[in-house]
Amino acid sequence: MSFFDSFEVAWSALRANLLRSILTTLGIIIGVASVIVLVAVGAGARQDVETRIASLGTNMLVVYSGSSRVRGRAGGEGTDKELSEGDLNALHNGVGGVMAISGQLNGAGSVVFGNANWTTTLSGVHPDYLTVREWPLASGRDFTPQDLRSSAKVAILGQSVVKQLFPGEDPVGTTIRIKNTPFQVVGVLSSKGSSSFGRDQDDLVLLPMTIARNQILGKSGVTPDQVGQIYIKFDNQTNLADAQEEIENLLRQRRRVKAGDEDNFNVRNLAEFMKARTEVLSTMTYLLGATSVISLIVGGIGIMNIMLVSVTERTREIGLRMAVGGRRRDIMRQFLVEAVSLCLIGGLIGTVLGVASAFIVAHAGEMAVLISPSVIFIAMGAAAVTGVFFGFFPARQAAHLNPIEALRSE
Amino acid sequence: MTALALTAPPRTPAKNAAASAKTPLIRAENVSKIYTMGDQTVRALDNVSVTIEDGDFVAIMGASGSGKSTMMNLIGALDVPTSGALYIDGRDISEMTADELAELRNRRIGFVFQQFNLLARTPAVRQVMLPLLYARPRPQDPEAMAMERLRQVGLGDRADHHPRQLSGGQQQRVAIARALVNNPKILLADEPTGALDTKTSEEIMALFCRLNDQGITVVVVTHETDIAEFARRRLTFRDGRIVDDAINTLRRTPQGGPS
């Protein structure tokens, strides 16, 4: 019997018991749909974290000054002796593989344009800052070393600030006032979205380090040559763990940390930190996937059950088919095709349902959802495997019937 | 038993059959079939030897438990003997694998059952096609072959009818068309008229006679004497043995029915 004939026979058998077939496939439908939804949600969350890792900049280390202890009370990060321009220069020249380096000195302040004003983060940075952070400009130009040397009153705006102060306008070339000092807007950053901690990374104004430190942030207790955090981007050949050790050695020396004492600074690999989160998410995705595999198994047992019923009901038909020349493998294939068809139809409906629910989840829950074609293939494959696996036993049962007894059965 | 005389073997083949005396179509040699039920053994067939020539029309008779059904299952290659040899078309079926038996049934034997055994919700033409779907190689146009057989049994205009839309006699004709579709050598009918009224029964038997006249070997298992009277030869079973093997000298000739 050809495959097509088997399929035709299976199809008419399924259609003959339409309601039963539909109910039987429900288990598979739910199983496949949940595999697709859960994997989509898991993959979406992971992709979300991955884009955030990318938004941090790759091959990057961040140096913070440590926390000072005043009478035994820790003051928090950045309260210890500040990192200075000297530290930055030493790192630039003394550590191998540095591609770009920049400080970032943060403060807050109000920005005014016309009648509009907006309080935002003000960051003093070096000209390499956008290179280190891999943060392209949307328009305008980057800071130049000349801007830094001359304490030029120029600013680059983040997208959120542009939205607040310049709705529908191009701010490049205009003059804004920061703490009553006029600054010329020379560039606008592209959007980076929110950080993994939910902070709006686009809500900031970048200023050259010199003018920021000396005039804008100076009043809020800034020491003469501090640079805040130092972002360092390394070339691709550099091993970040080695670079981290080099930085630590150099800074311990410069900042006179005695052997055995704790560092008064921290070096962080943010990407590593985020990667750990990705791994947690991956594990969760697999766990969720495994849970839905259980529903597939339950669905498969339902299929097996109904196939056994079908074999019993059609014993006479099986006997007849054997009498007119059906071989065992023909009978076996007929019932396997029937079981697999059931599962594939369930898989198809489940896929449609799963994709639809994933979209609903994405919409309603504002969650990141990622449906990859491979998940659909895997889910359909799993359905087919379920059909073969749970259809095998009933099909074997049918194939090994004695034709005489089968013909005699009622 | 009244109208019968003359015990047979060695017997002459039917006069219109193109049979070769060398290789009979069916030859049983000391065939026994023993069923084991728990610790009891039942000797359903006990050392049966018989030959059926190509082109013959044989009625197998006997009470239930006489062994006639077992004999039919063996002739139909649905089962193999416990001991002895059973040759169908020159090959011993006890030497054959399950697949070879299936192929033998497919190519050489057409089955007709008491309960017709048609598939529910399936049009007549598809019923008739069924054996062709298991044939290897699969024929080019099974539907055309099925249609031809339906016309042969007088149901050319009922090809799309489902079993429920057909009378008992028509259903049995569909079953006969199905049995014929692969050009078998043997038409094996198990109580073919058991579910039919007298008039329809005679029509069905007339059809068998006509097919036999065209050269096909017909074996009918029945317990009805008036059905057996259509056969050329009558084998009577009792307790697993053939107790009577007679030429039907007063053969009934079919009246009416499609000819």
ipTM computed for the complex: 0.87
A132's CB contacts (< 8 A; 6+ apart) are A57, A60, A100, A101, A102, A231, A232, A233
The candidate with the shortest Cα–Cα distance to A1, out of B100, B214, B136, B125, is B136
CATH of the domain at B146: 3.40.50.300
Evaluate whether residue B214 is within a structural domain: yes
**Over 70: is that where the pLDDT of B89 sits?**
yes
The encoded tokens of residue A345 equal 């139809």
Tell me the chain A residues in contact with residue B105 when contact means C-beta distances shorter than 8 Å.
322-325
Report yes or no on B2 lying in a domain.
Answer: no
Residue B33 lies in a domain: no
Specify the pLDDT at position B17: 44
Domain that holds residue B126: 55-79+97-247
Q: What is the pLDDT of residue B249?
A: 82
Does B239 score more than 50 pLDDT? yes
Helices (H), chain B: 68-75, 98-108, 124-133, 142-152, 168-180, 198-213, 225-228
Q: By CA distance, what is A6's nearest residue in B?
A: B133
> Does B38 reside within a domain?
no
Residue B20 has pLDDT above 60, yes or no: no
Per the CB < 8 A criterion, the answer to whether A159 and A118 are in contact is: no
Q: Would the CB atoms of A327 and B99 count as touching at under 8 Å?
A: yes
Strands A154-157 and A116-125: unpaired
B141 C-beta neighbours (distance < 10 Å), count? 9
Mutation choice for B interface testing from A14, A327, A331, A408 by most B CBs within 10 A: A327
Q: Model confidence over B151-185: pLDDT tens digits?
A: 999 999 999 999 999 999 999 999 999 999 999 99
Total domains, chain B: 1
CA distance A75 to A82: 13
Domain membership of residue B155 (yes or no) is: yes
The answer on pLDDT for B18 being more than 50 is: no
**Does residue B5 register a pLDDT over 60?**
no
Window 80-139 of B, Cβ < 8 Å to A: 98-99, 102-103, 105-107, 111, 113, 117, 119-122, 130-131, 133-135, 138
- The angle that helices A328-364 and A270-313 make with each other, rounded to 10 degrees, is 140
* Cβ A65 vs Cβ A265: under 8 Å: yes
Residue B111 lies in a domain: yes
Residue A65: both structure tokens together: 């000054």
Chain B positions touching A332 (Cβ under 8 A) are none
CB contact under 8 A, A16 and B102: no
Which pLDDT score is estimated for A82? 82
Of A16, A326, A404, the CB nearest to B134: A326
Question: Environment class of residue A98 by beta-carbon count within 10 Å: exposed (0-12), middle (13-18) or buried (19+)?
Answer: buried
Stretches in chain A below the pLDDT threshold 50:
none
Cβ atoms of B161 and B197 within 8 Å: the answer is no
